[in-house]
Every structure is written in C-alpha cells, then in structure tokens.
Structure 1
Amino acid sequence: MSKFTRLGNQLYTGKKSIDFVGRRWTWYAISAVVIVAAIVGLSVRGLNMSLEFTGGTQYTVTVSGSADQPLADKVRTSVGNTGVEAAADPTVTTAGAHNLIIQIKSVSTTENNTVLKAIKSTTGATTDDISQDHVGASWGKEVATKAVQGLIVFLIAVTVFIAMYTRQWKMSVAALVALAHDVIITVGIYALVGFEVSPATVTGFLTILGFSLYDTVVVFDKIKENTKNLRATKRSFAAACNLAVNQTLVRSINTSIVALIPVAAILWVSAVQLGTSTLKDLALALFVGMAAGAYSSIFIATPLFVQLKSREKDVVDSERRAAQRAKQADPYAHVPSFAEGMEVDDNGEPPAEANAPEEHAFRGRTAPQTRGPVRDSGAAGRPQPSRQTRSKRGK
C-alpha cells in the first residue's frame, strides 16, 4: 500500500507521469474495437426485451411447499419444452417463500392452456393457485418511450450543467462523447450475453451515466485549475491537462474499485446462485457501465477535450512557449571537470572527448565554444579596493 501511496504522490507532483493525452490515438483505437464488437453483437443478436417492453403473459403461482430456485429451474424447463414458440425462453423468478412468477410472450388460448398444464404438473398447483396478467404491446411501447425521453432529458441537463460550470462548450462535447461511449458498450454487452432488458436495466443505464459524469467532472475540474494561468506554470496546455489526469488517477481507481466490488457481488449472487433475478439486469448494467465510465473519463474525455482545444490561439501560444523554453541554450549546462584516474594527453590536459558535452544530459542545452587557453589576468597585481569609514574616505 505504501508503494501505491508513493506512486500516487509522484503522479500528483509530476515526478512521474503517464502520457494519456499524447497517446490518445491508442486509446481511441481500443475504444473503437470494443464499440465495433458491441455494435456487431447488437445487430446480430439484438436485445432481449422483457415483458414490460414487448407485452406478454405473466403467471403468478402459489405453491404449497417452498418456492426455491431448484423448483424455478424445473418450471423453466417444463414450460420451455411445451413446444409453444412464445414460451420457448420463459423467465421464472421466485417471489417470497411460496410464489413463482413466470413470464412468456403473448400466446393464444390453446397455447395458454398448454403452458398452464405444464405449470400445474411441475408445481402441483391448482387452477385457483395460478393468477394471470396480460401486458399489452401498447403499454410496453409507452414504457420504452418514457425511458428514451428520460435519457434525452438527462443528456440535455448534463450538457447545460457542464457548460455553465466550466463555461466551455467543448468540455460538454467531450463529456457527452464519453457518455455515449459508455452506453454503447453497455448495450452491446447486454446483446452479447443475452440478458433481459427490463425497467431495472434502464435504471442501471441512468445510474452509470451519473457515475461516469461524476468521474469526468472531477477530472475537468482539475484541468480547469491547472490551466488557469499557463504562463505562471510554464507548461503547455496539453501537459497541464495530462497532469490533471495523473493527479486524479489514483482517486479514480480507488473510487471505481470500491464501487465495483459490491456490484460484482450482487451480479454473482443473482446470475450464478439465484439463476435469474431482476437484480441480475441491474447489476450487469452497473458493472459494465461503471468500468466503461472509469475508462472513458481517463482515456477518452480529456484527450478529446485537448484535441478540440488544440487550434485555439491561447493553446497554440502555450505550446509555442513550451517549445521555446525547451530549446533555450544554457552556457553553463556542462562544465568540464577533472577526476582522479582520468587519462591525460602529452601536455597533461584531459582528452578532448572528456570535455565534450553530453547531448542527452541537460535537456539538449550546449556549452559555448572555447576561444583559447585560460591565462593569468593582468588585473591580478592591481591594488584592490577596500571598505573604509565615511570619515576617512578621500584622504
């Protein structure tokens, strides 16, 4: 832990630095590969929308014994093997100690009777123990529309907030690109793994957008502080932004780990131990979105913001000043010295290569050319001035 703390201090002070801004095309390429895979998965497999979005039939079964996960698995297998196409992939969850909830797509009366027969034979329930609820497709479309409207309102509010807080619309653009990056990756992962998209998933999407925005705003706030007076800091705009990312890196890692550990535990319990649960939909969205949000706030948002600002006059001037400072020559950058054991020529002088300046040292500065040997000064024999009291001066 002490090494990690020491590394964090070195990153904050600038003694060590990771070039996030300079290697932005590498990060862009990594994100592009992941996004392309997500889009391919989305286009090939599509999203597995839940009953609330597509409409269908829900059965609530009250059993005499315990409604545990093994019984839910048996019911899922029994209903799926009925040959009814709409019930080929049912969702079965436990609700309390004695209730099972079974969800399938819309079925006809004959298909409904076939599904009921399978449920009764597996659970031992009677007709009075089973209640049915039918969800129309129009209601599902309304839920989907409201979810999209909520997402649009959220994005507009984010744009206005960041623009008012930072007073730079380019920060808003970079933040929105990072948010889009997180949403596309999360949706693509959902399509690839085949998890059901439910209203809980929409809640998870909105949560991860808030988490990603929070992390991005912290980095942008540090950028705003570092770039407040570039002349005084003697750094270029890109270097100041890169320093801001390094200064917040340890904090971002710690925050992400602390947030991901409980979400990973919920995902494991809901997906592996419970088999199927609404917690699974929420946990997957949170886990993937938080991981993608931590990545985008570090590797996408800041490099993109620097790229958007690269043509502004103040930024160009800061880059030019930094380049000029790096090229300035220092006549005292290399002072030849003699060390014991050094080889000497016939005149007792060090060889010429011993006095040659090292180009890789002193950041490219060079020593002036010598004009001749050093001789004794004629001023050595002159009387030197001495300090006297005012009363004795001029006498």
Structure 2
Amino acid sequence: MFQILSIKGSINFLRHAVPISILSLILVLGSLGSLATKGINWGLDFTGGTVVEMEFSSAVDLNKLRNTLTSEETDGAVVQNFGSSRDVLVRLPVKEDVKSDIQVAHVMEAASGIDQNVTQKRVEFVGPQVGKELAEQGGLAVLVALICILIYVSFRFEWRLALGAVAALAHDVIITLGVFSLFQLEFDLTVLAGVLTVVGYSLNDTIVVFDRIRENFLKMRKSTPVEIVNNSITQTMSRTIITTGTTLVVVVALFLKGGTMIHGFATALLMGIFVGTFSSIYVASFLAVKLGINREHMMPVEIEKEGADQDALMP
C-alpha cells in the first residue's frame, strides 16, 4: 500500500529529462567553445603582478584614481575597494623592463595627488612563473577531486551512479568556467575556491538523491528504475529546496554586499547552485538510468560464511 501511494504521489521528473539533457549538452559545448576561443581572464594570482594596498584619510573616488593611473608603468591597473571606501587595492600586471618598485612609486604618486595623507599598507609581488604554477595546480586540484569522487561513489554505491555523479560535477564545473570565459570575468584564487566549493555542494546534493535511490531499489521491488528514480527525487525535493534556498540567501548577500574581493567567489557559487541543483536530477540520475541501473546492481554482496560447505555436507 505504501509503495503504491509513493509511486502515485511522486513527480515525473524524468519526463523532461531528454530536452533538458540536450540543453545541458548545448551549454557544455558552448562553454567549451568559449574556453577554446576566448580563454579565461586570469587574475594576477595566475598571471603574476604587483598588488598595492593603500589607506586614504577619507572615502576616495575610484574612477578619479583610475584616471590618474595613465602612465605606461601603470597601464592595465585594476583599482578596487578593499574592505571599506577608504581602503583601496591596486593590481598591476607584469611589464617587461619595468620593475615592480617603479610601478609602486607611480601608484603612490598618483594617490598622493588625490590625498596627501594616503598611506601604503601592503605591497605584494607575484612572479609570472609562480602564477603559471598556481594555474596548473588549480586545474590539477579540480581533476584530482573528480577522480577521488569517482572512486568514492563507486565504492559506496555502484559504478553507474559514480559515472553519473562525475558527469554532473564535470557539467557544473565546465558551465561555470564557460560563464567566466564568455563574460571575461576575472578568474583568481577566490574564484578557484568557489569552483571547488561548487564541486562539494553539487556532490552533496547528488549523494542524498543516490542514497534514497539505493534504499528505494531495495524497498520498491516491483517498480521500474524510472519510477524509483522519480520517487526518490520527489522524496528528497523538500530537502533540496530548503538547502538551496538557505544557501542562496547567504550567497546573494555576499554577491551584493560582500565587496569586489569576493565578488568572483560569490558569482561562481551562484552559478554552481543553479546548475548543480538540476544536474543532480537531469544529468546524474538520468545518466544512471540510461546506463541500465537496476535492483540487482543495488543488492549487497553476499559473503559466504566460513564453514558453510562443511555444514551443508553434514547429515
């Protein structure tokens, strides 16, 4: 009786799986195309450069400061507030035959023309080689995370579900990177942290759905895999809505009020939450169904007890 009510009360999510999967494929291919043609707008953390942090005596007009940084040494400088309207961070790209000390001197000279009481709080330099290593290590970190997740889900569930989970995670990461490539948003270490957070967030949602799928395969013995997946997604939907909603409140607050330093991080999380929520349903679960997941694959392996052969031979 419970089984019949569960199936009748479930929502047929997989009814829309084919068109949404086609849309996801188009988004992934478009993202890969953008990454191949436009590339990523790497921040100074990856390309190298100089960071100058200054404190003004009063709120400063960033546009006015940008207009004063017109010399050859400071061309391409990124000016943004850091914490408050009085604190300013200037990021300078690497210039051939120009030392970082000279760039810093030009920045302080321009800032002194706006506020004579400006003070220099911090100067950091990242070499191009260090930035290149950071980019390689960041990409390797994402790849290793996906491989470890594939191994973990394979051991905990089943390889068909594992492939679905990894495909959903790769789908989320590629589309998130595609958005940053398409709009040429700056990609720095905070954005990389956001991408890795998206991997963990999306995996958490996928694991919850998979756990319920495994339970229902053992309980609903007369149901088809599609019915079981639809019922499992329906049962976990309230949890997904609550988790996504509360997370969105925090991320939107960071996006609107967190300042420019974590704007990229919040943008990556916003993209990851939206894309990761539907990928758990229409990529991970649907792919597992297309790979032929069934009840036999979910059955625990029976371990023969020691001495069972001798017991069977005894009269």
- Please state which band the TM-score falls in when normalised by the shorter chain: 0.7 to 0.9
Equivalent in 302, 318, 323 of residue 285 of structure 2: 302
1:18 partner SS: coil
In structure 2, the CA distance between the partners of 1:161 and 1:137, relative to structure 1 (3 Å rule), is same
My pick for the range that moved more, 46-55 or 32-41, is: 32-41
Shift in Å at residue 115 of structure 1? Answer: 4.7
Aligned counterparts of 2:250 and 2:120: Cα–Cα separation in 1? 37
Residue type at the aligned position of 2:184: G
Q: Which residue of 2 aligns with 1:61?
A: 54
Aligned counterparts of 1:131 and 1:27: Cα–Cα separation in 2? 49
Residue type at the aligned position of 1:121: G
Are the aligned partners of 2:54 and 2:122 in contact in 1 as well (CA < 8 Å)? yes
Shift in Å at residue 29 of structure 1? Answer: 1.2
Residue type at the aligned position of 1:245: I
1:133 aligns with 2:124: yes
In structure 2, the CA distance between the partners of 1:109 and 1:229, relative to structure 1 (3 Å rule), is closer
Larger Rg: 1
In structure 2, the CA distance between the partners of 1:269 and 1:62, relative to structure 1 (3 Å rule), is closer
In structure 2, the CA distance between the partners of 1:47 and 1:96, relative to structure 1 (3 Å rule), is same
In structure 2, the CA distance between the partners of 1:308 and 1:120, relative to structure 1 (3 Å rule), is same
In structure 2, the CA distance between the partners of 1:199 and 1:85, relative to structure 1 (3 Å rule), is same
CA shift digits 1:40-81 (9 cap, x unpaired):
433443322111110112223243x12x3x4334323432xx
2:291 partner SS: helix
1:213 aligns with 2:196: no
Shift in Å at residue 159 of structure 1? Answer: 1.5
Are the aligned partners of 1:55 and 1:106 in contact in 2 as well (CA < 8 Å)? yes
In structure 2, the CA distance between the partners of 1:44 and 1:141, relative to structure 1 (3 Å rule), is same
Aligned counterparts of 1:299 and 1:215: Cα–Cα separation in 2? 13
Equivalent in 254, 259, 267 of residue 284 of structure 1: 267
Equivalent in 250, 256, 261 of residue 268 of structure 1: 256
Structure 2 residues without counterparts, runs of 5 or longer: 298-315
1:92 partner SS: strand
What aligned pairs does 1:1-395 form with structure 2 within 5 A after superposition?
Answer: 13-63=6-56, 65-66=57-58, 68=59, 70-79=60-69, 82=70, 84=72, 87-95=75-83, 99-107=87-95, 108-109=97-98, 112=103, 115-124=107-116, 129=120, 132-166=123-157, 168-228=158-218, 233-270=221-258, 274=259, 277-309=260-292
* Structure of higher RCO (CA pairs closer than 8 Å, 6+ residues apart): 2
CA shift digits 1:204-247 (9 cap, x unpaired):
111111110000001101110111255xx421122112211122
Are the aligned partners of 2:49 and 2:128 in contact in 1 as well (CA < 8 Å)? yes
How many pairs were matched up? Answer: 290
2:223 partner SS: coil
In structure 2, the CA distance between the partners of 1:71 and 1:131, relative to structure 1 (3 Å rule), is same
Aligned counterparts of 1:88 and 1:75: Cα–Cα separation in 2? 13
2:255 partner SS: helix
1:109 partner SS: coil
What fraction of aligned residue pairs are identical, expressed as a percent? 28
My pick for the range that moved more, 91-100 or 242-251, is: 91-100
1:124 partner SS: coil
Residue type at the aligned position of 1:308: L
Cα RMSD for the two superposed structures: 2.8
